[in-house]
Amino acid sequence: MGRLGALLIVSTLPSNTPPSQPSKPLAGSASASTSGGQIRVLVCDDSAFMRKAISQLIASDPQLVVIDTARNGQEAVEKAKKLSPDVITLDIEMPIMNGHQALTAIKRECRDLPEGPPAVLVCSSLTSAGSHDALQALREGAADIIAKDASFFSTNMEAMREDLIRKIKAIGGSRARRAGPRPAIGSTLARPMNALAAAHQAANLAAAAAMDLRPISLTGRRIDLIAIGSSTGGPPILETILSNLPPALPCPIVIAQHMPASFTKAMSERLDGMSAISVVHGEHGMPLHPGTAYVIPGGRHGRVRAIGPGPIRLEVSDDPKSAPFKPSVNELLASAARQSGKHCLGIVLTGIGDDGKVGGQELRTCGGTLLAQDPGTSVVYGMPKAAADVGGISMTPEQIAQSISTLVPAGLRAAG
Residues with catalytic annotation? 231, 258, 355
List b or e across 33-54, with b for residues whose CB sees 16 or more CB atoms inside 10 angstroms: eebeebbbbbbbbbbbbbbbbb
| CA angle in degrees (0–180, nearest 5) for 81-82-86 | 70
Q: What are phi and psi of 42, to 5 degrees?
A: -105, 125
**Omega of the bond prior to 327 within 30 degrees of 0, cis?**
yes
Beta bridge partners of 395: 373
Taking the C-alpha atoms of residue 122 and residue 102, their distance in angstroms, rounded to an integer, is: 11
Distances (CA, A) of 386 to 151, 170, 381, 382, 383: 34, 15, 9, 6, 5
Half-sphere exposure of 349 toward its Cβ, with a 13 Å CA cutoff?
27
DSSP states of 385-409? HHHHHTTPEEE-HHHHHHHHHTTS-
CA–centroid distance for 186 within its chain: 35
Half-sphere exposure of 338 toward its Cβ, with a 13 Å CA cutoff?
10
Quote the radius of gyration of the chain (alpha carbons, Å): 22
Taking the C-alpha atoms of residue 252 and residue 274, their distance in angstroms, rounded to an integer, is: 17
